[in-house]
């Protein structure tokens, strides 16, 4: 049940402006993904307004995860496809690198649970 799908997301303004790689992982249960991804170094990009978010085109659908306060802006930006997605966030303690890792789990309208995060190329799923 682990299948990696790669896309891109607008990273907003600042040093990360432009496109950043996105990985979306299909999982059987989010406990598995939580333990597996705890070993990954993944940093969510910030939008221009400083909100954490992840977005990816998955099998032709737009998966969006973001802070609840930012959801209306992403709905406006990405259209109706974004409105049927649920979302939740995990806070992961800082790892060996000493920095906090944040994971976002996104559920799609077809009942598949996916975990998406934004990171650098060297941190992509192997």
Could you give the angle at the alpha carbon of 52 between the alpha carbons of 50 and 55, nearest 5°?
A: 125
Q: What pLDDT is attached to residue 41?
A: 25
- pTM comes to 0.22
Q: What pLDDT is attached to residue 107?
A: 39
For residues 56 and 24, the answer to whether their CB atoms sit within 8 Å is: yes
H-run or E-run covering 31: helix 30-37
Alpha helices in 2-112 (DSSP H): 30-37, 71-78
Closest CA to 102 of 19, 31, 29, 45: 45
pLDDT digits (tens, 9 = 90+) for 13-36: 444 344 333 444 433 333 333 323
Q: What pLDDT is attached to residue 73?
A: 56
Could you give the angle at the alpha carbon of 109 between the alpha carbons of 28 and 91, nearest 5°?
A: 55
pLDDT digits (tens, 9 = 90+) for 56-87: 433 433 344 444 455 555 555 544 444 333 33
């Amino acid at each position: 049940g682990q299948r990696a799908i790669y896309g891109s997301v607008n990273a907003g303004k600042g040093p990360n402006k432009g496109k950043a790689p996105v990985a979306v992982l299909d999982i059987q249960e989010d406990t598995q993904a939580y333990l597996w991804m705890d070993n990954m170094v993944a940093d969510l990009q910030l939008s221009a307004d400083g909100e954490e978010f992840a977005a990816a085109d998955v099998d032709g659908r737009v998966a969006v995860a973001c802070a609840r306060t930012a959801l209306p802006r992403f709905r406006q930006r990405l259209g109706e496809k974004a409105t049927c997605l649920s979302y939740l966030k995990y806070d992961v303690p800082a790892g060996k690198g000493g920095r906090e890792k944040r994971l976002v789990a996104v559920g799609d309208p077809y009942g598949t649970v996916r975990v998406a995060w934004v990171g650098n190329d060297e941190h992509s799923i192997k």
